[in-house]
Chains A and B, each alone.
Chain A
């Protein structure tokens, strides 16, 4: 898969506003743009409306480990149903404020993806209409996919 189209789209975004994209990376046939948390919604809207990236294929959180700063990543995998190109957007978040604006206003499918990311990694999506746990029970303690969460949990979970 060529990254040509994604590069052009991101470069066009950067010429419009230098601060929209912080960093770009082209590796292993995939184009990644690191986006500041404050401008993710704007970037997503522009890519969707002006560059045809109309399908949010995936959204996932990632914990780099408690020593790292910024500690969390949120990856947005965008896809176009017209020209079949992909681009990855990456938002880096610090441990103190793992907050990022929701993209449910851009794609409805982000709803469950963001709920899952909140549930497992503990990232708060500002403005999400229904930010509840989705896979784990609502009284679960902690966020299971964080690196400092033990594999077997803190104590055996029971329903009683």
Chain B
């Protein structure tokens, strides 16, 4: 029986005929350091990578097609499952695209909570990155230290939204519900413990000479190439380009927060590692500021045709009950138009292109996942490196295959 293996190289491209040491190996899709189901076709000359070809699509589930068959508010739960390490970022990009089409104003408290939750999620996402990156290179213990911190954040997200990995906390027009009582105390507790945890990680990882020799001058990409390949986020900032959409295309009130953009100029795995480590401190800084700004107030916009009413209102007011029924049963119509809503997710620019034809379902939703674009630059970074370093380079790109394959 012939198995249709997709895109198999018909004739192996031999770079140098005289070298008989050249061989092709298939790394993945079950390789643990490919962070999901990524297959890399590597042509090796001894231990050196001559050519690398990423093969993706193993996790493709047709999410962009599914959006067209779901109402706007139903699409939020699909976004959770794309970049499953940064679901709140995906929620934010999606709901903000819809809000831009609807032209809804979000109350300040909801904006602050969005920033607070997104930055907590960014810390959690970077913790998974650091843990798995270290695990790939061969350091076992940072993984446990990182996941302990991540667990605390997932508990916070669970307290607010009820879901750990799939919160769907942001809704079109505001939030699912307000923060639970005592939430700020728990976040404060986390922030108090966080610097000590970071010190531990810096000692364990950054100051480790084996780690430094495994990451420095590996996977180099120049500034010009990085822009040409469309890299964004920490990968681009590791090449010396100061670009952070939170500062340069601000959204959700990020322009009012005081934080710095970490930039490193080396363009190698170590630089990308340093950028993310420094970002963790900045995120904690933003969380602290957001926490200080939390004032009581509404968390949902005043748009009864779009935002689900409170349960209490539904019991008392006839019109709230009618709106609730209509939103759930028929959805709401979104004015015709198209928007591209970019945000700074934990991995780079997450852009949502949303097109509406005036009905209750979107005409087209396209996600520009940062992992998808960053991975496409992998051959450029890994050709000429040793095969063991390819693992380090994949780790430094911080890819999530759920977002790449969608």
Contact = CB atoms under 8 A, between A and B. Distances in A.
B229 A108 contact: yes
B339 interface: yes
Nearest to B61: A135
Given A1-B249, A81-B227, A57 B342 contact: yes
Interface stretch (B1-9, B155-163, B193-201, B294-302): B1-9
A109 interface: yes
Contacts of A63: 364
B65 interface: yes
A19 B291 CA distance: 54
B135 interface: no
A55 B349 CA distance: 12
Contacts of B241: 81
A136 B60 CA distance: 7
Contacts of A109: 228-230, 373, 376-377
Given A88-B340, A112-B376, A60 B60 contact: no
A130 B66 CA distance: 28
B60 A138 contact: no
State the main secondary structure of chain B at its contact with A.
mixed
A46 interface: no
A9 interface: no
Contacts of A102: none
Contact of B4 (A55, A113, A137): A137
A111 B62 CA distance: 20
B240 to A, nearest CB: 11
Given A28-B339, A75-B353, A160-B1, A58 B57 contact: no
A145 B65 contact: yes
A1 B366 CA distance: 21
Contacts of B4: 137-139, 159
Interface string A64-90: 100000000001010101001010100
Contacts of A28: 100-101, 103, 337-339
A7 interface: no
Contacts of A79: 342, 349
Nearest to A29: B100
Contacts of A10: none
A120 interface: yes
B81 interface: no
User: In which size bucket is the chain A interface?
Assistant: 35 or more
Interface in B346-396: 349, 351, 353, 355, 363-364, 366, 368, 372-373, 376-377, 380
Contact of A86 (B64, B69, B340): B340
A100 B342 CA distance: 26
Contacts of B380: 108
Given A109-B229, A112-B373, A136-B57, A57 B339 contact: no
A144 interface: yes
Interface string A7-45: 000000000000000000001111010000000000000
Given A81-B241, A84-B249, A112-B372, A134 B57 contact: yes
B209 to A, nearest CB: 35
A75 B4 CA distance: 33
Contact of A145 (B64, B230, B337): B64
B376 A81 contact: no
Given A30-B340, A56-B230, A132 B7 contact: yes
Nearest to A107: B228
A86 B232 CA distance: 15
Interface in B1-41: 1, 3-4, 6-7
B65 A151 contact: yes
30 contacts: A28-B337, A28-B339, A32-B338, A55-B232, A56-B230, A57-B351, A58-B340, A58-B353, A60-B364, A60-B366, A62-B355, A62-B363, A62-B364, A62-B366, A77-B368, A81-B227, A84-B249, A108-B225, A109-B229, A109-B373, A112-B372, A113-B373, A132-B7, A135-B57, A135-B406, A137-B57, A149-B65, A151-B66, A151-B69, A160-B3
Interface of A: 1, 27-30, 32, 54-58, 60, 62-64, 75, 77, 79, 81, 84, 86, 88, 107-109, 111-113, 116, 120, 132-139, 144-145, 149, 151, 159-160
Q: A-B pairs with the 5 shortest C-beta distances? A: A109-B230, A58-B368, A84-B248, A60-B366, A135-B57
Given A139-B6, A144-B65, 18 more contacts: A1-B249, A30-B339, A30-B340, A62-B363, A75-B340, A79-B342, A81-B236, A109-B373, A112-B372, A133-B6, A135-B406, A137-B4, A138-B4, A139-B4, A145-B65, A151-B65, A151-B66, A159-B4
